Structure 1
């Protein structure tokens, strides 16, 4: 699981300058920038969680279709939810992801990324960019980024690490809690975990 989040965090650390890029260019440019920032930032290397969290919060969302991810993670429960429940879930789920990405960013140890050949139809509105993270002393980690076109920009809505989908992983976890206790209970538990982890 640590490698899963490290792989996703290495990519999802990006800025608004990525707007208008093709999917494969977006992934490569972002990953290159992520690695450069981590290597040059002594606070991140030292594990300054507050700084890492702040940077992740500022940089993740521009290239991530968070609303689409939320809809997909909740599945049929999204359509049944009230606007208030949707808003509460998105807020807590975002914090959960940011916390996890921030933790993973601090674990980067000179991994490199191999980019697989990319093909896409000129009029396509979805794409998958395949990569592999090479790590010293370990097997490569396969990482697939699934993107969709939103206006003129490409946004990530799922990451598949070693065959494990971010969306599927959380959907199965959350569905069980919703079945047993309802969406309000899930939102409450997410809020409690986030508060305990961040101290806020």
Structure 2
């Protein structure tokens, strides 16, 4: 009887180890997928910026066009918008929610184009990725190396129901783009409400386009 019991314990130990290794391998593969997605998108962005520089077309307007093609399709706009709106989402009438998402996505691209307008042939290197406990969020390290300075960033991605990694935030030198936008929206909602905030975002987007 004791021998049979020991054999059962051994089987359970073997099964536990095998399951742990399987989960670890799946997590590693998933983190690698997130890294590959970030590398693919940033290589495309870097190539576009270099091309704009060499052809003397390096303007915010052209940068925005490139980002609309290479970055925007990879962003989970619905998740980004809901996180930015946060507690204010319930204050947004149903008929305005899609418009909010659209204008926030424009603001996201405008913010990136403003940041990247300072690009001066820095080398963008994609580092190691890590997963949240749920395995639904990945954080991928990015290093931007210039002649006089090196900046570090962390790109955050969300895994969709179709197992596709999508961008939703970037943290540059400890400052989260999503958190910054959320603070702006909170302040605006307190002063202007839902419709006033939407109008303000539209005006900022138009102003950013006109300044290109």
**TM bucket, shorter chain:** 0.7 to 0.9
Bigger RCO (CA 8 Å, 6+ sep):
1
Q: Which residue of 1 aligns with 2:22?
A: none
Matches within 5 A, 1:117-136: 117-120=128-131, 124-136=135-147
Residue deviations 1:1-47 (CA, integer Å, cap 9, x gap): xxxxxxxxxxxxxxxxxxxx810011112222221222223577533
Q: CA RMSD in A?
A: 2.4
Whichever structure has more helix as a proportion of its residues is: 2
Q: Which residue of 1 aligns with 2:47?
A: 36
Any conservation in 1 of the 2:131–2:138 contact (CA below 8 Å)? yes
Stretch moving more, 88-97 or 62-71? 88-97
SS where residue 119 of structure 2 aligns?
coil
Shift in Å, 1:87: 2.0
Quote the Cα distance in structure 1 between the aligned partners of 2:48 and 2:58: 14
1:132-180, CA deviations, whole angstroms, 9 ceiling, x for partnerless residues? 2112112x21111111111121011111111111111011111011012
Is there any run of 5+ residues in structure 1 with no aligned partner, and where? 1-20
| TM, length-normalised to structure 1 | 0.78
Which residue of 68, 80, 95 maps to 1:57? 68
**TM-score of the superposition, structure 2-length normalised?**
0.74
Change beyond 3 A, Cα 1:45–1:98: farther
Check the 8 A contact 1:130/1:144 in 2, yes or no: yes
Q: Which runs of 4+ in 1 moved over 6 A?
A: none
Q: Tell me what 2:168 maps to.
A: 157
Q: Gapped runs of 5+ residues in structure 2?
A: 1-31
SS at match of 2:129: coil
The answer to which of 55-64 and 171-180 deviates more is: 55-64
Q: 1:134 to 1:186 in 2, by over 3 A?
A: same
In 2, distance between residues paired with 1:144 and 1:33? Answer: 18
Do the aligned partners of 1:45 and 1:106 also contact (CA within 8 Å) in 2? Answer: no
Distance in 2, Cα, partners of 1:93 & 1:44: 30
8 A contact 1:38–1:44 mirrored in 2: no
- More displaced, 30-39 or 145-154? 30-39
